[in-house]
Structure 1
């Protein structure tokens, strides 16, 4: 039975040897301007963006829609100028000083009960330190979504079903590899856009688009290639999950 949830698309850039960052897990800025424009276009077609805490810690920011044509298109469709940016994290251990909390976007936190308590206590401490009100607090999430399994893990399926119930129909997933792996295991991914960039990073510990424990060959998710586009030295691969 098809799950009632948003249509999910993973968008990632990787090296020619399949790494999304170097072995130090530095922010991956090896994509070209064309790759950034492609990412922004995918974000602009989404109602919400989902990113893991590790990805947010690495970059300290997210990509907002800035191209006038994309902004105008969203307005014409009756959408807000920016999709909601949802951070998924069990610990909610995030640095309130990063630029992400200053960006003009709507921010939601998806976590479990322990993570929600941690962040709320952290937020109150920050407010007290800065002698400011909760409304003025820069490190603020508009909503804190708590969905957890009986074991205390984040219940991603229940969370996505909730998003669908509030008319979030398209979800862009920006990584990292652990998040993508967990969603593949739950059959929560519909499409992937992978940009292959012309460099070799190597490194046994360098992260890949899909981390986790991995899949056995006979049980591995299968993909259908929808389109291939080459722009200068980069290759853009568009896949759909076969079911």
Structure 2
């Protein structure tokens, strides 16, 4: 039995695999179809999770506004919006950004250090502190807690460093990647998976579930294959 939420990463990227330009500007290159796809994934989730860098870039989060999706959530006895969870070691966020005025439930997943500024404030409904002995966020324990509070489906909306951390913790189940018809380039431009990276023979493997083309964009749906014992070349 899986004691954590089913977790899907949802990202749009350029044809050369960048999720933002080299200045890490907000990614506005997705079409209306991509935005509708993202909203559908959010509506199917109990919580959406994103890193502080993603929130700083946009200043807001995407909410469910489509009447059909709102009706579906109501019929399933779920609140109109999923919980929106910011994950950040430092929680160095500007409390004046629009995100804190949006009509969503906000949680913060952080360390004891990151929680210090926010604990006496009202912006976050919950502050979750899950910490390893060396002061990093204990991702696996946090995901196990989410399951305990009835969060069964999570959509991860970025960024690449967060995705790398979740891959290392082995808590990702699926990827939805939208390939957009633009080339961004840039050696420092962020990609869907950042972090230290993987050697090929130890890299996470994907199984392609579905391919959709809508006008000039390609929507790729992958299942992450669980690690297995393999024979590696010397």
Relative to the length of structure 2, the TM-score reads 0.95
Task: Tell whether the 8 Å contact from 1:47 to 1:168 is kept in structure 2 after alignment.
Answer: yes
2:230 maps to none
Task: Tell whether the 8 Å contact from 2:18 to 2:185 is kept in structure 1 after alignment.
Answer: yes
1:69 maps to 68
* Equivalences for residues 139-150 of structure 1 within 5 A: 140-150=123-133
Q: Deviations over 1:70-102 (max 9, x none)?
A: 000000000000000000001111011111001
Name structure 2 gaps, 5 residues minimum.
Answer: 227-234
1:227 maps to 210
1:48 aligns with 2:47: yes
Task: Tell whether the 8 Å contact from 2:88 to 2:109 is kept in structure 1 after alignment.
Answer: yes
Higher helix share: 1
* Equivalences for residues 38-117 of structure 1 within 5 A: 38-117=37-116
Give the SS at the match of 2:45. coil
Task: Tell whether the 8 Å contact from 1:110 to 1:144 is kept in structure 2 after alignment.
Answer: yes
Name structure 1 gaps, 5 residues minimum.
Answer: 124-133, 135-139
Runs of 4+ in 1 over 4 A off after TM superposition: none
Task: Tell whether the 8 Å contact from 1:93 to 1:119 is kept in structure 2 after alignment.
Answer: no
Pick from 190, 193, 201 the counterpart of residue 218 of structure 1.
Answer: 201
2:141 maps to 158
Give the SS at the match of 1:95. coil
Deviation (angstroms), 1:210: 0.2
Task: Tell whether the 8 Å contact from 2:119 to 2:127 is kept in structure 1 after alignment.
Answer: no
Deviation (angstroms), 1:120: 3.0
1:10 aligns with 2:9: yes
Distance in 2 (CA, whole Å) between partners of 1:184 and 1:91 is: 21
Q: What do you get for the CA RMSD once the two structures are aligned?
A: 0.9
1:137 maps to none
Give the SS at the match of 1:57. helix
Deviation (angstroms), 1:3: 4.6
Q: Deviations over 1:28-64 (max 9, x none)?
A: 0100000000000000000000000000000000000
Deviation (angstroms), 1:215: 0.4
Deviation (angstroms), 1:118: 2.8
Distance in 1 (CA, whole Å) between partners of 2:52 and 2:91 is: 8
Task: Tell whether the 8 Å contact from 1:82 to 1:105 is kept in structure 2 after alignment.
Answer: yes
Deviation (angstroms), 1:26: 0.3
Distance in 1 (CA, whole Å) between partners of 2:82 and 2:194 is: 26
